[in-house]
Amino acid sequence: MGQTRGVEAGNEPPGNSELGRRVAELADLIVLDGGDSHRVAHYRRAATVIRRFHHSLAEIILSGTDLTRVPGIGKGLAGFLGELVRTGSARRLEDYRTRIPRGILDLMRVDGVGATRARTLRDAGVESVERLEAALDGRWIHGLDGFGPSVASHIRRSLEARRALRGKSLLSEADRAVARLTDVLRGNGVDFSIAGDIRRRVEIVATTDIVCAESSGALWDLACECPGARVDGNRGDNPVPVEVDDVPIRLVAVPRELMGPIAHHLTGPPAYLGALAARARSYRLEITPTGIVGAADTGGPGGTGGTATDTGPASGETAIYERLRLPWIPPELREDGTTIERAERGVPSLVTLDDIHGDLHLHTTWSDGAANLQTMVEAAAARGYSYIAVTDHSPSTGVVPGLDAAALRAQAAEIARVQRDFADIAILRGCEVDILPDGTLDLDDETLATLDIVLVSVHSAFAMSRSRMTDRIIRAMENPLVDVVCHLTGRKLGRRNPYPLDLTAVLEAARDLDVAVEVNGSPRRLDLNHCGLWLCRELGVRVVVNSDAHSVARLDNMRYGIDQARRGWLQAAEIANTRKLRAFRQWLGRRRD
- pTM equals 0.89
pLDDT computed for residue 314 by the predictor: 43
C-alpha–C-alpha distance, residues 309 and 387, integer Å: 56
pLDDT (tens digit per residue) in 277-308: 999 999 999 999 998 888 655 445 544 333 33
What is the average pLDDT across 453-476? 96
**Which of 120-134, 328-342, 395-409, 425-439 is least confident?**
395-409
pLDDT computed for residue 444 by the predictor: 96
C-alpha–C-alpha distance, residues 426 and 171, integer Å: 31
Q: Which residues contact 9 (CB under 8 A, 6 or more apart)?
A: 87, 88
Residue 196 has pLDDT above 70, yes or no: yes
CATH number of 353-588: 3.20.20.140
Residue 141 has pLDDT above 50, yes or no: yes
- Taking residue 189's Cβ as centre, other Cβ atoms within 10 Å add up to 7
What count of residues does the chain have?
Answer: 593
pLDDT (tens digit per residue) in 363-390: 999 998 888 999 999 999 999 999 999 9
pLDDT computed for residue 593 by the predictor: 67
Q: What is the distance between the terminal CA atoms of the chain, rounded to a whole angstrom?
A: 56
Mapped onto helix, strand or coil, the DSSP state of residue 554 is helix
pLDDT computed for residue 44 by the predictor: 87
More confident: 517 or 70 = 517
C-alpha–C-alpha distance, residues 353 and 561, integer Å: 9
More confident: 117 or 1 = 117
pLDDT computed for residue 7 by the predictor: 56
Mapped onto helix, strand or coil, the DSSP state of residue 244 is strand
Mapped onto helix, strand or coil, the DSSP state of residue 251 is strand
More confident: 487 or 296 = 487
What is the average pLDDT across 493-508? 95
Cα distances (Å, whole numbers) of residue 239 to 162, 211, 330: 28, 9, 25
pLDDT computed for residue 309 by the predictor: 31
pLDDT computed for residue 399 by the predictor: 61
**Cβ(361)–Cβ(391) under 8 Å?**
yes
Mapped onto helix, strand or coil, the DSSP state of residue 414 is helix
pLDDT (tens digit per residue) in 15-61: 888 898 899 999 999 989 888 888 888 888 888 888 878 788 889 99
H/E segment holding residue 434: strand 426-434
Pairs from 220-229 (Cβ < 8 Å, separation ≥ 24):
220/251, 222/184, 222/185, 222/188, 222/190, 223/181, 223/184, 223/251, 225/184, 226/180, 226/181, 226/184, 227/5, 227/11, 227/12, 227/180, 228/5, 228/180, 229/180, 229/181
pLDDT (tens digit per residue) in 32-42: 988 888 888 88
| Whether the bond into 428 is cis, omega within 30 of 0 | no
C-alpha–C-alpha distance, residues 4 and 27, integer Å: 16
Mean pLDDT, the chain, whole residue set: 91
pLDDT computed for residue 45 by the predictor: 84
Q: Is the dihedral of CA 45, 51, 55, 57 positive or negative?
A: positive
Q: Say which amino acid occupies 106.
A: D
pLDDT computed for residue 10 by the predictor: 55
**Cβ(196)–Cβ(207) under 8 Å?**
yes
DSSP 326-338: -----GGG--SHH
Cα distances (Å, whole numbers) of residue 384 to 231, 357, 380, 490: 40, 8, 7, 30
CATH number of 169-260: 3.30.460.10
- Taking residue 523's Cβ as centre, other Cβ atoms within 10 Å add up to 19
pLDDT (tens digit per residue) in 418-458: 999 999 999 999 999 999 999 999 999 999 999 999 999 99
pLDDT (tens digit per residue) in 62-112: 888 888 888 778 888 999 999 998 888 889 999 999 989 889 999 998 988
pLDDT (tens digit per residue) in 518-571: 999 999 999 999 999 999 999 999 999 999 999 999 999 999 999 999 999 999
pLDDT computed for residue 567 by the predictor: 98
Helices (H), 2-74: 16-32, 37-52, 57-62
Residue 274 has pLDDT above 70, yes or no: yes
CATH topology of domain 268-344: Beta Polymerase; domain 3 (3.30.210)
What is the average pLDDT across 247-253? 96
Helices (H), 242-296: 259-267, 270-282
Q: Domain boundaries in the chain?
A: 7-100, 169-260, 268-344, 353-588
Residue 210 has pLDDT above 90, yes or no: yes
Q: Which residues contact 70 (CB under 8 A, 6 or more apart)?
A: 49, 53, 57, 60
CATH topology of domain 7-100: DNA polymerase; domain 1 (1.10.150)
Residue 466 has pLDDT above 50, yes or no: yes
**Cβ(460)–Cβ(437) under 8 Å?**
yes
pLDDT computed for residue 68 by the predictor: 86
Among residues 192, 146, 201, the alpha carbon closest in space to that of 564 is found at 201
3-state secondary structure 454-496: EEEECCCCCCCCHHHHHHHHHHHHCCCCCCEECCCCCCECCCE
Cα distances (Å, whole numbers) of residue 222 to 214, 225, 230: 11, 5, 12
DSSP 160-214: HHHHTTTT-EEHHHHHHHHHHHHHHHHHTT--EEEEEHHHHT-SEES-EEEEESS
